[in-house]
Amino acid sequence: MRTTLTDLLGCRYPIIQTGMGWISDARLTAATSAAGGFGILAASTMTPEETARSIAEIKERTDAPFGVNFLVAQPGAREIVDLIISEGVRVASFSRGPTEELFREFKEAGVLVIPSIGAPRHAVKVAAWGADAVIAQGTEAGGHTGAIASSLLIPGVIDAVDLPVVAAGGFYDGRGLAAALAWGAAGIAMGTRFLLVTESPAPDRVKQFYFDSAITATTVTTAVDGLPNRVLVNKMVQQLETGGRLRRTLSAIRGALKLRKSLGVPMIEYLRSGLALKRNEKLSWSQALLTAHAAEVYKAGVLDGDLEGGVFSGGQVTGLIDDLPSCAELIERIVDEARTTLAGLHRYEDAAGGGPGTGADGA
Ligand SMILES: Cc1cc2nc3c(=O)[nH]c(=O)nc-3n(C[C@H](O)[C@H](O)[C@H](O)COP(=O)(O)O)c2cc1C
């Protein structure tokens, strides 16, 4: 299934598995790319050493190209940028706080730059900086998300920029891929659907929690890290939402200190990255702290499986997913269904009398 996206990325199918913190590890990324999709490693929750090990592991598992997602202001971001370049990673992906200099650096090194954006004006900005494609992510999406629904964002971005646009937010099957192609997108990117495959590192009880969640089970909250974030509603989210500012800040400080320790980052570097976060993303100190704290509560959720005390990023599509295929089964199924859906659409040409050799009388 060839599109401008498959040509750009060098993969067989126009299906991206996005970088999900704690979830998109070497195994999942390699499994997606080996199955003909395009896997993106989430370095956003890794140290540079872990990122290096994960890149090596992906290369051991598959020769297929892959990408790396990171947070521009995370501790160790500089080393991660260097690794992406020196390891010849095909794509750099990020959603928050990019700079024009960073685009230039990647492009000069031959790394494709594919940011995620949530509004047409952001697409215009990154296009001017030289983005090679954009992931247009609608509000349905799991994790940090904007306010515009996929059904409006995707055509809006396609009209706004002359770049391959990858549709994201709420996709999970072949009908969605066909719809995205019909809008003029070059492919789809999925997070939540790839959390629920056999190669995903989420424990079984976490996967079951997602399966058991209805389409209305998510909420967009700013209480976790100060930025709008689509998560499954659970005890932790309810507490954070109702807990008040002081409680949130105290818990953020505790979480930030814990994270610093687990990352083994010296305090001075940690503060430096907090400052960068503050500046790049125009956050207050308490928001920057909340961001650091968030990484801990996300880990407690999706990776450690603390159903009450963790936070679970998840898209509305959670309510439509109830099976656990392998990456390869999922990708083949989506491609087959998209082909069938697209072929089936020809019947409307006939019905309208517009198809070749089909007059209004059906002749
Ligand atoms: C568990 C989880 C963790 C995520 N972590 C990140 C992240 O670290 N960086 C990022 O850019 N996006 C992150 N996202 C957003 C996804 O990469 C993706 O854009 C989104 O899931 C697409 O929408 P969908 O969930 O409807 O498929 C995360 C999403 C989920 C569900």
Would you give per-residue pLDDT tens digits along the chain (363 residues)? 999 999 999 999 999 999 999 999 999 999 999 999 999 999 999 999 999 999 999 999 999 999 999 999 888 999 999 999 999 999 999 988 789 999 999 999 999 999 999 999 999 999 999 999 999 999 999 999 999 999 999 999 999 999 999 999 999 999 999 999 999 999 999 999 999 999 999 999 999 999 999 999 999 999 888 889 999 999 999 988 887 666 666 666 666 666 666 666 666 666 666 666 666 666 666 666 666 667 788 999 999 999 998 999 999 999 999 999 999 999 999 999 999 999 999 888 865 555 444 434 433
pLDDT the model gives residue 77: 93
For ligand 1, atom 8, the nearest C-alpha belongs to 21
Give the pair of three-digit tokens for residue 166: 């990858």
Q: Is ligand 1 within 6 A of the CB of residue 19?
A: yes
pLDDT the model gives residue 96: 80
Q: What is the sign, positive or negative, of the torsion defined by CA atoms of 196, 202, 208, 210? A: negative
For ligand 1, atom 15, the nearest C-alpha belongs to 143
pLDDT the model gives residue 22: 96
For ligand 1, atom 20, the nearest C-alpha belongs to 191
Probe target for ligand 1 pocket from 20, 80, 188, with the most ligand atoms within 8 Å of CB:
20
AA letter at 234: N
Residues 124, 112: Cα–Cα separation, whole Å: 17
Residues in contact with 316: Cβ distance below 8 Å, sequence separation at least 6, in sequence order = 140, 170, 215, 218, 230
CB 195 within 8 A of CB 208: no
How far is ligand 1, taken at its centre, from the CA of residue 314, in Å?
8
Q: Is ligand 1 within 6 A of the CB of residue 226?
A: no
Q: Is ligand 1 within 6 A of the CB of residue 192?
A: yes
How far is ligand 1, taken at its centre, from the CA of residue 348, in Å?
35
Q: Is ligand 1 within 6 A of the CB of residue 139?
A: no
Count how many Cα atoms sit within 13 Å of the Cα of residue 349 in the half-sphere of its side chain: 10
Residues in contact with 204: Cβ distance below 8 Å, sequence separation at least 6, in sequence order = none
Residues in the chain, total: 363
AA letter at 62: T
Strand boundaries in the chain, DSSP class E: 15-17, 38-42, 67-69, 91-93, 112-113, 116-117, 134-137, 143-144, 165-168, 187-190, 218-221, 229-232
How far is ligand 1, taken at its centre, from the CA of residue 17, in Å?
9
CB 47 within 8 A of CB 262: no
Probe target for ligand 1 pocket from 32, 50, 173, 192, with the most ligand atoms within 8 Å of CB:
192
Residues 244, 223: Cα–Cα separation, whole Å: 9
Q: Is ligand 1 within 6 A of the CB of residue 69?
A: yes
Residues 292, 260: Cα–Cα separation, whole Å: 8
Which candidate, 200, 228, 225, places its Cα nearest to that of 324?
200
Q: Is ligand 1 within 6 A of the CB of residue 168?
A: yes
Q: Is ligand 1 within 6 A of the CB of residue 142?
A: yes
Q: Is ligand 1 within 6 A of the CB of residue 95?
A: yes
AA letter at 347: R
Q: Is ligand 1 within 6 A of the CB of residue 68?
A: no
Instruction: For residue 302, give the ligand 1 atom closest to its CA.
Output: 1
Instruction: For residue 44, give the ligand 1 atom closest to its CA.
Output: 8
CB 24 within 8 A of CB 194: yes
How far is ligand 1, taken at its centre, from the CA of residue 168, in Å?
10
pLDDT the model gives residue 61: 98
Count how many Cα atoms sit within 13 Å of the Cα of residue 245 in the half-sphere of its side chain: 4
pTM confidence score: 0.90
How far is ligand 1, taken at its centre, from the CA of residue 19, in Å?
6
Residues 280, 190: Cα–Cα separation, whole Å: 26
